[in-house]
Amino acid sequence: MTTNIIELHDVSKSIHDHVILHDLNLEVRNGEFLTLLGPSGCGKTTLLRLISGFENPTTGKIFINGKNVDGLPPHKRHVHTVFQSYALFPHMTVFENVAFGLRCRKLPKAEIATRVAEVLKIVKLEKFAQRKPDQLSGGQQQRVAVARAVVNRPLVLLLDEPLSSLDYRLRKTMQIELKQLQRKLGITFIFVTHDQEEALSMSDRVVVMHEGGIEQVGTPRQVYEQPQNLTVANFIGEANIFDSEILSIEGKQLGVNILGKPRNAKSSRSFELGQKVHILVRPEDLRVWKQVDVDDSKDMLPGTVEEVIYKGTTVDLMVRLSNNQIVAATEFFDEDDDKLEYAIGEPVFATWVPGWEVVLPHETL
């Protein structure tokens, strides 16, 4: 049985009649790495502020560790936040920065020393205890900020875009470090990012947010491979989207047509005959064949090569289809890699393995 460390029941937040968050229902499992993912302005920080108690919800209830926290001040919630700016005290050493919260709580000196040493060891900063923040690298400052929060032994650690100011390589390293640290500490992390790759690579589960609402909650694999709707599909990864219509239904097997060509598709959702749908195909699932190599093209989509982008491990192709729609395909090298020599303007067919598409009900965005 999994227990929920945090539950949100029908939570909403309005500021001066402006709805910032609406109808939020969410269960955060004890010990998980949960990521709030969504574009800037969708309400991620506001949601963290409701959980930490710096703001109160307009409607709904929040439970932390089984207890309704309505009216409970931040310092009594056992929830700590790591901010993007780290907010370290510049005049204090690493040790003093980490000890600060414990000193405020007037813990015995010896206990403070033990706990700070323990946490500095976990974040691999035991040799840096006497340094000041400006004598540390960006990644080390980040670790001090985390150490300062976890030394209080919170039930939940909230991290609001903590990696967004780091350069690309440090960011990649810190992603792995934070994930390992979370596993080692066993504390629930609620991590915020607008970067979908970061969310997919770090999380046990991802909460996809859009305009103040939750669009989907699932494992990285679920939100990528089975997006709930077009918003999720477009925000996570790249997707080629075709307009189509359901022509036949036999259990999970669907007959659809794409650019006038009949195709088979598969979905565990239910659809009606004649229903308008979107067919979504990820670039890595779209295959491109030179027309001269194809004998039977009855369910393939004709087009011409618009652009060829060499990426080292892959070649990305942009293909202009007969209706002028441009689709993206990622081709992987194999032993026969001259197959990947494409000329601009070359006639090709685009296709994919039936069943590898995602069928979504039609939406007007």
Q: Does 45 bind Mg ion (CB under 5 A)?
A: yes
Q: How many positions of this chain bind Mg ion (CB under 5 A)?
A: 1
The residue (of 156 and 159) whose beta carbon lies closer to Mg ion is 159
Candidates 43-51, 164-172, 201-209, 225-233; binding stretch for Mg ion (CB under 5 A):
43-51
Binding mask 134-153 for ligand ADP (x = CB under 6 A): --------------------
Q: Does 35 bind Mg ion (CB under 5 A)?
A: no
Q: Applying CB under 6 A, which of residues 3, 10, 25, 41 lies at the interface with ligand ADP?
A: 41
The residue (of 15 and 247) whose beta carbon lies closer to ligand ADP is 15
Please check whether residue 143 is in contact with residue 126, taking contact to mean a CB–CB distance below 8 angstroms.
no
The residue (of 21 and 102) whose beta carbon lies closer to ligand ADP is 21
CA–CA dist 45, 6 (Å, integer): 16
Give the one entry of ligand ADP, Mg ion, none that residue 169 binds, where binding means its C-beta sits below a cut-off of 5 to 8 angstroms depending on kind. none
Q: How far is the CB of 226 from ligand ADP (least distance, A)?
A: 24
In one-letter notation, the amino acid at residue 21 is L
Helix (H) or strand (E) run with residue 210 in it: strand 205-210
Q: Applying CB under 6 A, which of residues 28, 42, 279, 280 lies at the interface with ligand ADP?
A: 42
Candidates 44-52, 165-173, 248-256, 310-318; binding stretch for ligand ADP (CB under 6 A):
44-52
Between the CA of residue 294 and those of 271, 303, 347, what are the distances in Å?
33, 13, 11
Sign of the C-alpha dihedral computed for residues 43, 47, 48 and 53 taken in this order: positive
Candidates 13-21, 197-205, 298-306, 333-341; binding stretch for ligand ADP (CB under 6 A):
13-21
Q: Which of 23, 13, 92, 18 is nearest to 48 (CA)?
A: 13
CA–CA dist 225, 266 (Å, integer): 13
Please check whether residue 278 is in contact with residue 288, taking contact to mean a CB–CB distance below 8 angstroms.
no
Q: What is the footprint of ligand ADP within residues 45-84 (CB under 6 A)?
A: 45-46
Please check whether residue 51 is in contact with residue 155, taking contact to mean a CB–CB distance below 8 angstroms.
no
Q: What is the footprint of Mg ion within residues 83-122 (CB under 5 A)?
A: none
Q: Tokens 């989907």 map to which residue?
A: 216
3-state secondary structure of 362: coil
Q: In what order do the strands lie in the sheet with 156-160?
A: 79-82, 156-160, 188-193, 33-37, 205-210, 213-218
Q: How far is the CB of 320 from ligand ADP (least distance, A)?
A: 36
Q: How far is the CB of 84 from Mg ion (least distance, A)?
A: 8
Q: Applying CB under 6 A, which of residues 5, 20, 158, 185 lies at the interface with ligand ADP?
A: 20
Q: Does 267 bind Mg ion (CB under 5 A)?
A: no
Please check whether residue 313 is in contact with residue 346, taking contact to mean a CB–CB distance below 8 angstroms.
no
Please check whether residue 359 is in contact with residue 271, taking contact to mean a CB–CB distance below 8 angstroms.
yes
Q: How far is the CB of 191 from Mg ion (least distance, A)?
A: 12
Q: How far is the CB of 77 from Mg ion (least distance, A)?
A: 20
Q: How far is CA 242 from the centre of its chain?
A: 24
The residues that touch Mg ion, with contacts defined as CB under 5 A, are 45
The residues that touch ligand ADP, with contacts defined as CB under 6 A, are 15, 18, 20, 38, 40-46
